[in-house]
């Protein structure tokens, strides 16, 4: 049960965001409002208000950023994407709530028929969706993609991309302090600060020690964050002037060691491969690899649906290296099989919320399957419509960027776009195994989409599309113009 500090932090975050926008550049304020909320606000704690989605560590920062940009700054906010495909996917993602809710109005009952007496006894029930739920789900879907739409406008410049990488690196350096304390003494930060533990304690024990979790939903989320931070540090080290170059390299090495200490095999594997690539490989290679990751992430669920993925062979290969990981992977595949069978009963629009997409015991309603990958959660809840909209919108920026690079082999690319694209690509890959979609994932996707839009020859010729991102006045910044009204 969250304590008073947890709810106080949620209430205070809009004020924190406002201070950021009044003291920092718009790029930095957007990045830290979203990333800071993700890292610091309490998981699971939320305000449940009637007819609107729960206000939690995701929706409060998103809503705060949107409200401040629209009502508290001089910027003209242009959230609507320029490309027709992106526009259609945004509309589908938000409006997919309507058919999903309207096709799930019946309750799911769990009943027992006694042999001695032909009477049905109602044991439990999952409620059906009502028309009033449509508005709540619509708002929730719209708030989810606020970071995507805001980043498309404000973080697509070279300065915006650099701020994303700097925030990842700085956030991980700071987050490593409580994380190392948890690695040494066991994961207790959320208990000490917010009064409760947010997950199964057993899942924090690994390799004779602990893996940290701090204020995130699970240790896997923190490990992926550490991986992306090490990638960001490598990208920044690559362009750091010679005088400070070795300092940047040492920070990268520290974050790689921090990643290893997080004890997550998949994230460690990602980091060991991608950090050197980001430091040494040409930018064009990084973009094309990120595009490949996006293609795999989009097509895997489709191939999984038709049984084209050799799951048994994959598990057998992993078992040759690590039997424990093979057992875990096999369990995930078994769960996916059962959840796919369940989703096949309502493939177009899914089962909606309240855990209706899960496989349960027919008599007592006990949950028999646990969904791990984000794709199976979306597919079970919103069907093909929701899956295509969400994964399509996340993968589209990488596909467009990869297409541009292939068509323009000598194009000059930002020194930061390859790393940002690869961070998004590896997150999409990880979402096949884990539900690691975060507001910062949407932020990176929006920044990449905005960058691709800026590469358009038509847009480059139109001065109206130039983004004015003058830093706001702060201490020691005489002569700079203020963007805040």
Provide the domain limits for residue 30: 4-97+134-303+375-465
Residue 114 lies in a domain: no
Q: Is 370 within the bounds of a domain?
A: no
pLDDT, residue 462, reads 53
The answer to whether 231 and 278 have CB atoms below 8 angstroms apart is yes
Region of 442 please: left (phi>0), alpha (psi -120 to 50) or beta: alpha
Closest of 3, 427, 13, 42 to residue 213, by C-alpha: 42
The whole-number pLDDT of residue 363 equals 66
Tokens of 132: 């009033």
Other beta carbons less than 10 A from residue 233's beta carbon: 31
CB 368 within 8 A of CB 361: yes
By residue count, the chain amounts to 485
263 half-sphere exposure, CB direction, 13 A CA radius: 18
Is 128 a domain residue?
no
Q: In this structure, is residue 294 part of a structural domain?
A: yes
3-state secondary structure the chain: CCCHHHHHHHHHHHHHHHHHHHHCCHHHHHHHHHHHHHHHCCCCCCECCCCCCCECCCHHHHHHHHHHHHHCECCCCCCCCCCHHHHHHHHHHHHCHHHHHHCCCCCEEEEEECCCCCCEEEEEEECCCCCHHHHHHHHHHHHHCHHHHHHHHHCCCHHHHHHHHHHHHHHHHHHHHHHHHHHHHCCCHHHHHHCCCCCCHHHHEECCEECCCCCCCCHHHHHHHHHHHHHHHHHHHHHCCHHHHHHHHHHHHHHHHHHHHCCCHHHHHHHHHHHHHHHHCCHHHHHHHHHHHHHHHHHHHHHHHCCCCCHHHHHHHHHHHCHHHHHHHHHHHHHHHHHHHHHCCCCCCCCCCCCCCCCECCCCCCECCCCCCHHHHHHHHHHHHHHHHHHHHHHHHHHHHHHHHHHCCCCCCCCCHHHHHHHHHHHHHHCCCCCCCCHHHHHHHHHHHHHHHHCCHHHHHCHHHCCCCCCCCCCCCCCCCCCEC
Q: Is residue 258 part of a domain?
A: yes
User: According to the model, what pLDDT value does residue 390 have?
Assistant: 95
pLDDT in tens, the chain (485 residues): 889 999 999 999 999 999 999 999 999 999 999 999 999 999 989 998 877 888 999 999 999 999 999 998 888 889 999 999 999 999 999 998 899 888 888 887 766 555 555 555 555 677 787 787 788 888 999 999 999 999 999 999 999 999 999 999 999 999 999 999 999 998 999 999 999 988 888 878 877 788 999 999 999 999 999 999 999 999 999 998 887 888 999 999 999 999 999 999 899 999 999 999 999 999 999 999 999 999 999 998 888 878 788 888 888 888 887 787 778 788 888 888 888 888 888 988 988 877 888 887 766 667 778 788 898 899 888 999 999 999 999 999 999 999 999 999 888 899 999 999 999 999 999 999 888 999 999 999 999 999 999 987 655 455 544 444 444 433 333 333 333 33
In this predicted structure, what is the pLDDT of residue 466? 46
Predicted confidence at residue 364, as pLDDT, reads 64
In a domain, 454, yes or no: yes
CA 234 to chain CA centroid, nearest Å: 21
Residue 334 resides in a domain:
no
d(CA 276, CA 38): 27
Is the model's pTM score more than 0.95? Answer: no
What is the per-residue pLDDT for 115? 54
Q: Is 43 exposed, middle or buried (0-12, 13-18, 19+ CB in 10 A)?
A: buried
Phi, psi of 181 (to 5 degrees): -65, -40
Please answer whether residues 292 and 273 qualify as being in contact, where contact means their C-beta atoms are separated by less than 8 angstroms: no
Contact 373, 336 (CB under 8 A): yes
Number of folded domains that form the chain: 1
Is residue 360 situated within a structural domain?
A: no
């Amino acid at each position: 049960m969250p304590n008073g500090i947890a709810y106080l932090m949620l209430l205070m975050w809009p004020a924190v965001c406002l201070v950021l926008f009044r003291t920092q550049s718009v790029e930095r304020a957007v990045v830290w409002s979203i990333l800071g909320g993700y890292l610091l606000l309490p998981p699971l704690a939320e305000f449940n208000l009637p007819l609107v989605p729960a206000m939690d560590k995701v929706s409060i920062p998103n809503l705060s950023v949107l409200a401040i940009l629209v009502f508290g700054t001089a910027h003209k906010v242009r959230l609507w994407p320029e490309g027709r495909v992106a526009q259609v996917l945004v509309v589908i993602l938000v409006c997919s709530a309507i058919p999903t809710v309207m096709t799930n109005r019946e309750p799911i009952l769990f009943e027992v028929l006694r042999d001695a007496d032909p009477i049905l006894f109602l044991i439990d029930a999952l409620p059906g969706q009502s028309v009033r739920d449509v508005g709540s789900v619509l708002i929730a879907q719209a708030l989810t993609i606020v970071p995507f739409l805001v980043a498309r406008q404000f973080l697509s410049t070279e300065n915006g991309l650099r701020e994303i990488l700097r925030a990842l690196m700085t956030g991980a350096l700071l987050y490593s302090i409580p994380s190392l304390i948890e690695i040494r003494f066991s994961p207790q930060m959320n208990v000490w600060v917010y009064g409760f533990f947010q997950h199964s304690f057993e899942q924090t024990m690994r390799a004779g020690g602990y893996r940290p979790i701090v204020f995130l939903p699970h240790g896997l989320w923190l490990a992926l964050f550490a991986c992306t931070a090490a990638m960001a540090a490598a990208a920044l080290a690559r362009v750091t002037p010679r005088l400070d170059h070795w300092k940047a390299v040492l920070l990268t090495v520290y974050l790689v060691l921090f990643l290893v200490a997080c004890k997550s095999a998949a994230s460690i594997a990602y980091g060991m491969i991608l950090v050197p690539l980001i430091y040494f490989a040409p930018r064009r290679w990084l973009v094309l690899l990120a595009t490949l990751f996006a293609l795999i992430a989009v097509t895997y669920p489709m191939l999984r649906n038709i049984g084209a993925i050799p799951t048994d062979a994959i598990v057998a290969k992993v078992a040759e290296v690590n039997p424990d990981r093979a057992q875990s992977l096999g369990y995930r595949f078994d769960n996916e099989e059962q959840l796919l069978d369940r989703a096949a009963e309502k493939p177009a629009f899914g089962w909606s919320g309240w855990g209706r997409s899960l496989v349960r015991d027919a008599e007592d309603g006990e949950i028999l399957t646990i969904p791990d990958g984000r794709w199976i959660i979306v597919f079970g809840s919103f069907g093909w419509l929701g899956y295509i909209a969400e994964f399509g919108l996340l993968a589209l920026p990488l596909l467009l960027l990869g297409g541009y690079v292939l068509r323009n082999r000598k194009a000059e690319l930002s020194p930061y776009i390859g790393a940002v694209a690869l961070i998004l690509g590896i997150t999409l890959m990880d979402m096949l195994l884990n539900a690691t979609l975060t507001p910062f994932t949407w932020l990176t996707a929006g920044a990449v989409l905005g960058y691709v839009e800026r590469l358009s020859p038509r847009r480059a010729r139109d001065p109206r599309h130039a983004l004015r991102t003058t830093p706001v006045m702060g201490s020691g910044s005489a002569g700079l113009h203020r963007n805040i009204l």
